Amino acid sequence: MVHEMHPEVAAALKDAQSLIQIMDDQLYKMRSTTFTGCDEYKSVEVTLNGHHQLLSVVISDGLLRLGAETVEQRLNEAVRNANNAATESIMVDQERLEDLIAEAVNDWQ
């Protein structure tokens, strides 16, 4: 004996699947998108992913001769710049996600 699903239940499940896909897409983007930042002298370059995890650090030849304090300052500046780029992107994505979720919730009502 086969029972058909109630149309409202089917619609709610479809909307839930859409929300899951939206979130899966966002998680993939956060894992796969990278953000690079440099210091003003372009002597240090760092790369972060969308989760703000450090993926790589490149220090120009000769920078270490300037001392640990200089390297630290330039490294921090590069990390800050990469972090700012990642944060800006995430804020744009967050607005888009909020709009998509609000649209889906409105469809349920």
Which CATH number goes with the domain that contains 91?
A: 3.30.1310.10
Long-range contacts of 91-98 (CB under 8 A, 24+ apart): 93/26, 93/29, 97/22, 97/23, 97/26
Cβ atoms 64, 71 nearer than 8 A: yes
In a domain, 80, yes or no: yes
Cβ atoms 15, 104 nearer than 8 A: yes
Confidence of residue 108 (pLDDT cuts 50, 70, 90): low
**What is the rounded distance in angstroms from the CA atom of residue 54 to the CA atom of residue 85?**
13
Question: Mean pLDDT across the stretch 63-74?
Answer: 97
Those residues whose C-beta lies under 8 Å from the C-beta of residue 78, and which sit 6 or more positions away, are 37, 38, 39, 44, 45, 46, 57
In a domain, 74, yes or no: yes
Question: Mean pLDDT across the stretch 62-80?
Answer: 98
**Residue numbers of the domain that contains 50:** 28-107
Q: pLDDT (tens digit, 9 = 90+) per residue, 14-68?
A: 888 888 988 899 899 889 999 999 999 999 999 999 999 999 999 999 999 999 9
Q: How many folded domains does the chain comprise?
A: 1
In a domain, 40, yes or no: yes
In a domain, 7, yes or no: no
* 34 against 103, higher pLDDT: 34
Based on its alpha-carbon atoms, the radius of gyration of the chain, rounded to whole angstroms, reads 22
Q: What is the pLDDT of residue 23?
A: 87
In a domain, 61, yes or no: yes
In a domain, 97, yes or no: yes
In a domain, 6, yes or no: no
